[in-house]
Structure 1
Amino acid sequence: MHRTVSGGAAAVLMLGLGALPLSVARAQDLQSPTTALDAPEALFVPTPLTLGSATVEIGGAARLEYDSNIYAQAFGEKDDFRLLFRPYAELNRKGGAVAINARAEGDFRKYFRYDSEDAIGGKVTAGLNWTPSASDRLGAAASWQHIIEDRGEPEGNTLPSIGPRELNALDGDISYIHQGAHIGFMLRASASHFRYSKAIDANRDLDNVGALARVMLRVSPLMNGFVEGFASRRDFRQTPQAGELNRDSRTYGGRAGIAIDPGGTLRGEAAVGVYRFDPRDSRIAPRTRMSAEIGLTYAPRPRTAITLDGFVGNVATYRAGVQSREDMRFRLGVQQEIRHNLRGELGLVYRRSKYFGTSLTEKIYGITGELEYALNRRVALAANARWSKRDSTGALDDYDRTRVGLELRVHY
């Protein structure tokens, strides 16, 4: 189920997530990222089925997991075992200058004791890339997703009497990239539509539109320097009542950075700049703060990869009395092919959520680990563990949480 993704692709994905509420984008999910290894002798790799001019990959994962604090509570923690089943099917077709991708996946969760936590989610995505020349690429993508929010999210639901928060998300984007011999540019527009399942969460429903423009300068055969500008608009569906803050806002800014893709030992993107948060409500102070995006992979050897992902920027907030929120998130990971059929990962996670208008600040620390043993090309077993701790200036927001699991992975 793991795929090789270039650092550049990961960074482009992060650009999209930067304009979204990070709780929706699952930034708190501490699962291991997609593998960055390019090991030539890796055993557990898919062998897609041929369907006419397309290929189809079918697979899934079944995990038995123990969670020491299923509600992510500071006191009175409840533990439980759960079963997770995540099947998927993916279709790819490439003919000439056009490549098409479609994927459907499910997310089924069953708890042993606390069945109010049982949930069903899923995602359907489709994308098209048209490459009319070696210098130009036009892409379009759309997705629908039923998301089950993690209990450990900042501003997440910790009430045992209410099941996990769920929502439907529609996303779409279109992009155009031109890379000349020395100068290039990229344009990207995106839109998102979030609707929560329960009436109690109606104040979280929002729409988001964004745009990004980048100018690139080729400084070497493998590296571009670039400057970019971005803007997004966040509109909440619910009209504020008398005395409530209007949380609609605009965010815009610019960054400068480097992109290494295609790369060798080092690949990916890194950029730093500023963003301007411009709220619609005059009672909320506008702010200019640092903006950063990082998605880098360092592979000193074919069987070793070190990854660094990061984000600093404004995100949506739903807390009463809070004017705005800024997240800083970084993940440092090491991936190693120990043998051709044994792969290991270790990750360190740090996240800070700063709430303006109050003295509230939350910091999350996490450690992730995984060992995957491939029985053959189609079947693998994995053992994984995640530990996370949140320290907050609000005592009731603290928690410690440990999750360990055994997983069966299959694909064709």
Structure 2
Amino acid sequence: MRRPAFGPASGGAAALLLMAALPDAQAQDMDASDPLQGEPAALFEPTPLALGSATVRIGGSARLEYDSNIYAQAFGEKDDFRLQVRPYVDLLRKGGALELTARAEGDFRKYFQYDKEDAVGGRLSAGLNWNPSAADRLNVAAGWQHIIEDRGEPEGNTLPGIGPRELNLVEGDLSYLHQGSRIGFLFKATGARMRYTRAIDEERDLDAVGGLARVMLRVSPLTSLFVEGVAAHRDFRLAPVPGQFNRDASTYGGRVGIAIDPGGTLRGDAAVGVYRLDAKDRRIESQTRMSVQIGLTYAPRPRTTITLDGFVGNVATYRTGVQSREDMRFRLGINQEIRHNLRGRLGILYRRSKYFGVDDTDNLYGVTGELEYAVNRRVALAATARFSKRDSSVALDEFDRTRAGLELRIHY
């Protein structure tokens, strides 16, 4: 089921807050039902409703899922069934050079046996796009999320005595894009505030800001080369206790890359460069390491898309004795329209989390699959499956986990 996302997406811009070190609440374990970029249209497509001068899309899903290891534990695994309901409403209003978007969605989770895992999440977001000319675009966006952390995330909570971590995230961004016939540039600023709901997690509360500047050179009608610089800063709300590291830090980076506009068989962007981490605590050694951002979609045939998403960069860490953490994530997916009302998805995921100062490394391998049958334009049924395995230099951080479910999807 395609969940609409409004506003422009740039690989470098999308990674700003990751470089500013927002942790894995922003990067949950891959869901088989997450839409692949540029997936082909099929029968199950929403028909927007007219509301004055605006259009509205209403929908949701209800999934019954089995989880073989709900706490993502190395031993003593507990399994359970859960029901997850996710309604949403999208609004789009266009008028001349202005475009207004808004979205509200919920995330309701109910476990059949371990009710401490029950949780309620949600999201509200809005954006304003202004196109004063064909070459210029100004975007302002803001949002609030109540996030339920996945148990399988690095440094995630695996204690069965309390429920999953939950946090409130407030974020916003401002961007300006100019694309001339040959030369273009993009400026983007982002900010976010994270506040966890339990006192036991308050040391994770942080504020993050970031900025990006990109200069582009068009070398063909659909292709541009670019160079970009990024800067980000994270500031934890609580001061460190005696003996702990001060985890406030700034990250700077530069990348060169290629961006391919929609219109051909390949689209998206990819960039490679370096980043430098400068920590406020002088006991933490500054680092200069490789930075990678990839978001590419290849459509060899009208009914097939293949996607590659990747990221390498510094993220926040809370582990005792650790100076910093670097994540590497790559996801390869294929979306195939088998028939006009039958669609299949398959994805593989690799994630490495490397901890500096203690020489610990986690490696997670995942496979996801989905088969979606469209009953009509408004109703679809899907079968989903996810398997993940994490190896670690810390034995207690290892786990195997299998999830499989059936899902009802509706929209108007």
TM over 0.5: yes
Residue in structure 1 matched with residue 169 of structure 2 by the alignment: 169
Judged with a 3 Å threshold, the aligned counterparts in structure 2 of structure 1 residues 93 and 382 are, in CA distance, closer, same or farther, namely same
- Structure 2: distance between partners of 1:394 and 1:302: 46
Cα offsets for 1:326-379 (capped at 9, x unmatched): 000000000000000000000000000000001210000000000000000000
Q: Is the 8 A contact 1:8 1:269 kept in 2?
A: no
Residue in structure 1 matched with residue 129 of structure 2 by the alignment: 129
Residue in structure 1 matched with residue 211 of structure 2 by the alignment: 211
- Structure 2: distance between partners of 1:274 and 1:175: 23
Residue in structure 1 matched with residue 159 of structure 2 by the alignment: 159
Deviation (angstroms), 1:35: 3.5
Letter of the 1:353 partner, please give it.
S
Letter of the 2:382 partner, please give it.
A
Q: Is the 8 A contact 1:48 1:56 kept in 2?
A: yes
Cα offsets for 1:19-68 (capped at 9, x unmatched): 3424121243344432445545x110000110011000100000000000
Residue in structure 1 matched with residue 245 of structure 2 by the alignment: 245
Deviation (angstroms), 1:410: 0.2
Residue in structure 2 matched with residue 28 of structure 1 by the alignment: 29
Question: How many equivalent residue pairs?
Answer: 411
- Two-structure CA RMSD over aligned residues (Å): 1.5
Residue in structure 1 matched with residue 320 of structure 2 by the alignment: 320
Q: Is the 8 A contact 1:85 1:107 kept in 2?
A: yes
Deviation (angstroms), 1:12: 5.7
Q: Is the 8 A contact 1:8 1:261 kept in 2?
A: no
Deviation (angstroms), 1:7: 12
Cα offsets for 1:227-257 (capped at 9, x unmatched): 0000000000011111111000000010000
Q: SS at 1:203's partner residue?
A: helix
**Deviation beyond 2 Å, 4+ runs, structure 1:** 3-22, 26-33, 35-40
Judged with a 3 Å threshold, the aligned counterparts in structure 2 of structure 1 residues 340 and 87 are, in CA distance, closer, same or farther, namely same
Q: Is the 8 A contact 2:183 2:217 kept in 1?
A: yes
Superposition pairs of residues 184-263 of structure 1, within 5 angstroms: 184-263=184-263
Letter of the 1:255 partner, please give it.
R
- Structure 1: distance between partners of 2:9 and 2:400: 33
Letter of the 1:304 partner, please give it.
T
Residue in structure 1 matched with residue 390 of structure 2 by the alignment: 390
Deviates more, 1:86-95 or 1:14-23: 14-23
Superposition pairs of residues 13-412 of structure 1, within 5 angstroms: 14-19=14-19, 20-37=21-38, 39=40, 42-412=42-412
Q: Is the 8 A contact 1:228 1:256 kept in 2?
A: yes
- Structure 2: distance between partners of 1:27 and 1:176: 29
Q: Is the 8 A contact 2:43 2:374 kept in 1?
A: yes
- Structure 2: distance between partners of 1:410 and 1:298: 28
- Structure 2: distance between partners of 1:109 and 1:198: 19
Deviation (angstroms), 1:6: 11
TM-score for both structures, normalised by structure 1? 0.97
Q: Is the 8 A contact 1:29 1:150 kept in 2?
A: no
- Structure 2: distance between partners of 1:152 and 1:10: 28
TM-score for both structures, normalised by structure 2? 0.97
Q: Mind listing any 5+ residue stretches in structure 2 that lack a counterpart?
A: none
- Structure 1: distance between partners of 2:13 and 2:116: 33
% identity of equivalent residues? 69
Q: SS at 1:322's partner residue?
A: coil
Q: Is the 8 A contact 2:17 2:191 kept in 1?
A: no
- Structure 1: distance between partners of 2:188 and 2:131: 16
Q: Mind listing any 5+ residue stretches in structure 1 that lack a counterpart?
A: none
Q: Is the 8 A contact 2:7 2:127 kept in 1?
A: no
Q: SS at 2:160's partner residue?
A: coil
